[in-house]
Structure 1
């Protein structure tokens, strides 16, 4: 909850900071540079996914973001950037945080206890399992990168046509 709410308020702060810079052109250069960096972040793929999710689903998107990996921070920041009312964000975050806690308390701790039990049985078995998981993660990441590259190439071809 602390991270999600801090990220929400950071997003709100970005909006407020941009307003202040726009209203007072006499702001120091470091402030302008900070706003430019934050604006550049909002152009990233992850930030755009978070903004799109919050714009489309609103508070439900915030709740569901707790169950995702890789887009949570972007959704929480996006909620602040689009100035979602804080009471709505707070109420949306409650069931999401509970769901995240349940997932962590069951699957997360279950995985940790399984790894501990495997280690006490055979440290080599745990090492082997970690290698297999590492290979699987690397394969999935490479597959995702290939798919994105293919989509980018298809978009370039489409743009040329």
Structure 2
């Protein structure tokens, strides 16, 4: 996806424009999904679905928000997730609360070159799948290691003891 009109603009403007683009696109998709649901509810098909449709609505409201936020890190799944959130009538407040950080994430990925990193990795994968998989595993290990170190440091500063800190007497 290219946004040539943003080329050479200040970073804050590029980020803001991409955020607005993501916001408008996902809002439109959500409301199209709500329209689909309204249409389905007026048919005999809704009568046949009955309680199953209501169960699905409850599940989407309960477990859907993380899927909405995480969908922004995918390519090709976002539209389906947002359409399903609308069609399953996810409460708008829950949807909005999940959508806003997702829009921020998407804008950051695109404005900070995340897609360029993904393209480089994909080309590496096409040339050497083993090398690309190794690089991905190393990056994941570094991220997990950094997270563990940070949690342990936070636990020490808060006075909580971790299992490693206790000594059997």
TM range (shorter): 0.3 to 0.5
Give the structure with higher Rg (CA): 2
TM-score by length of structure 2 reads 0.45
TM-score by length of structure 1 reads 0.47
